[in-house]
Amino acid sequence: MPGVQQVEHPVRQHHAATFLEPARTPRHRRAEREEFWVVECHALASLDPRLPVVNPASFPRRVMNLRPALFLLALTALASAAFASREKPVIGLSLDTLKEERWQRDRDTFIAEAQRLGATVIVQSANSDDTRQVRDVESLISRKVDVLVIVPHNGSAMTRAVKSANDAKIPVIAYDRLILNAQIDYYLTFDNVKVGEAQAGYIVPRLPKDRPARIVRIYGAPTDNNAKLFKQGQDNILGPLIKAGKIQVVHEDWALDWKPENAKKIMNAAVTKAGRNLDAVIVSNDGTAGGAIQALQEDGLAGKVLVTGQDADLAACQRILRGTQAMTVYKPLTKLSHLAARIAVEVAKGGKPAATSTLHNGAKDVPSIFEAVIPVDKDNLLSTVVADGFHKAADLK
């Protein structure tokens, strides 16, 4: 509307004039009042060119008297919008990947609980790409989410994304994996050291006692702080026995990006280097255990060498019943995802929910909650994983 364009310019001239020469006669005061209203109209016009620009002088007095009420109305509208967003918070959920079975379940149960609590969730998955995950978080920040929940692919690479969230005053919750050297608000996870202790603790009593046991160790992704905590837990049990020469680690390595194919390569390399005389493979999760067992199968060793895991994936539970995998560590994911949804909603509403512990991430003691984990083998699979409804007995066949 050509009319709107034109109006814009006179406004600027008007303004300049008013500020330079203070006029104090009644006519000037009325003129000033009228000018203020014009700016408002023009301002509205520049916001929405569909709005006609009219001179308030033509407004009947009773309309002019409505201004305080209108102002109040606007204020209430703003307040209720703020109240509405607090009541219906928007959560930004940034995932490393959806490749593994567990993350799909984390996502679905988290969204369901968040929605039950009245929140909306925007999900981004970075496919194990750090640059992309930083970009994902930046885009969630630009969409003005009320809180960020992040599963970092790389605990260090996300430090700068958290800095952007800090600058935007958006609270950050690290989910399952810790973000390092960053001002995060909460760390919600399982007791990851206990996972490692459960894996090694399951294997040790089942190793030969009459000679040094020969084991292989396949750790998780070196970019994942959890992989170090799992190893620490295993070391707590194995360390003294290795020192005493009761256990020999014939080969060990880290499976990049937790990829099963990388674990298979490590297992192939272990058999090539150390031979087939192996007693156990301590693997950090079920996905990589699947890769290692494929390699053992190629050498006719599947079911003859004890293999550990974690996550109680369906395939792993089937392997446990078939006897090619010895155990897994069951983590009741819905407990963690529901906890995270609850805390995210409370934080988005300005709350400071209590934590049960802290963990130092290099920048601060992060308020943390560590959920319990359950070692599972063929003897208690039905009374844990199936009883919880995590898997159906029929699917385990």
Task: Indicate the residue among 176 and 279 with the shorter CB distance to ligand GAL.
Answer: 176
* Number of residues in contact with ligand GAL under rule CB under 6 A: 11
Task: Indicate the residue among 171 and 196 with the shorter CB distance to ligand GAL.
Answer: 196
Rounded distance between C-alpha atoms, residue 12 and residue 19, angstroms: 11
* Minimum separation from the CB atom of position 151 to ligand GAL (A): 8
CB 286 within 8 A of CB 328: yes
**Residue spans of alpha helices (H) in 21-66:** 26-47, 61-64
Task: Indicate the residue among 103 and 111 with the shorter CB distance to ligand GAL.
Answer: 103
Locate 140 and state its tokens.
């969630």
Count of C-beta atoms within a 10 Å radius of residue 324: 21
Instruction: Look up residue 305 and give its DSSP letter.
Output: B
Binding piece for ligand GAL, criterion CB under 6 A, among 48-56, 75-83, 220-228, 296-304: 220-228
Task: Indicate the residue among 51 and 314 with the shorter CB distance to ligand GAL.
Answer: 314
* Minimum separation from the CB atom of position 205 to ligand GAL (A): 24
Residues 246-285 that bind ligand GAL (CB under 6 A): 258, 285
Locate 32 and state its tokens.
């000033």
Task: Indicate the residue among 145 and 381 with the shorter CB distance to ligand GAL.
Answer: 381
* Minimum separation from the CB atom of position 296 to ligand GAL (A): 20
Task: Indicate the residue among 138 and 371 with the shorter CB distance to ligand GAL.
Answer: 371
Under DSSP, is residue 27 helix (H, G, I), strand (E, B) or coil? helix
Q: What are phi and psi of 43, to 5 degrees?
A: -60, -45
Rounded distance between C-alpha atoms, residue 166 and residue 380, angstroms: 45
* Minimum separation from the CB atom of position 232 to ligand GAL (A): 14
Rounded distance between C-alpha atoms, residue 53 and residue 61, angstroms: 18
Q: How many CA atoms lie within 13 A of 243 on its CB side?
A: 6
The conformational region for residue 212 under phi > 0 = left, psi -120 to 50 = alpha, else beta, is: beta
Task: Indicate the residue among 220 and 375 with the shorter CB distance to ligand GAL.
Answer: 220
* Minimum separation from the CB atom of position 170 to ligand GAL (A): 23
Residues 133-192 that bind ligand GAL (CB under 6 A): 176-177
CB 228 within 8 A of CB 308: no
Residue 314: burial class (beta carbons within 10 Å; 0-12, 13-18, 19+): middle
* Minimum separation from the CB atom of position 269 to ligand GAL (A): 21
Q: Which residue has the tokens 């928007």?
A: 90
* One of 45, 94, 95, 102 touching ligand GAL (CB under 6 A): 102
Task: Indicate the residue among 111 and 255 with the shorter CB distance to ligand GAL.
Answer: 255
* One of 106, 146, 224, 279 touching ligand GAL (CB under 6 A): 224
* Minimum separation from the CB atom of position 120 to ligand GAL (A): 26
Task: Indicate the residue among 141 and 374 with the shorter CB distance to ligand GAL.
Answer: 374
Q: Which of 15, 52, 21 is nearest to 35 (CA)?
A: 15
Residue type, 157: A
Residues 342-381 that bind ligand GAL (CB under 6 A): none
- In Å, what is the CA distance from 310 to each residue of 106, 192, 217, 246, 323? 15, 10, 14, 25, 16
Q: What are phi and psi of 89, to 5 degrees?
A: -60, 155
Per-residue interface string for the shown chain with ligand GAL, residues 280-309, x marking contact by CB under 6 A: -----x------------------------
* One of 311, 319, 327, 375 touching ligand GAL (CB under 6 A): 311
Binding piece for ligand GAL, criterion CB under 6 A, among 113-121, 218-226, 242-250, 301-309: 218-226
247 forms beta bridges with: 213
Q: Which of 183, 180, 118, 122 is nearest to 149 (CA)?
A: 122
Task: Indicate the residue among 263 and 347 with the shorter CB distance to ligand GAL.
Answer: 263
CB 258 within 8 A of CB 100: yes
Residue least distant from ligand GAL (Cβ): 226
Binding piece for ligand GAL, criterion CB under 6 A, among 137-145, 197-205, 219-227, 354-362: 219-227
Sites of contact with ligand GAL (CB under 6 A): 100, 102, 176-177, 220, 224, 226, 258, 285, 310-311
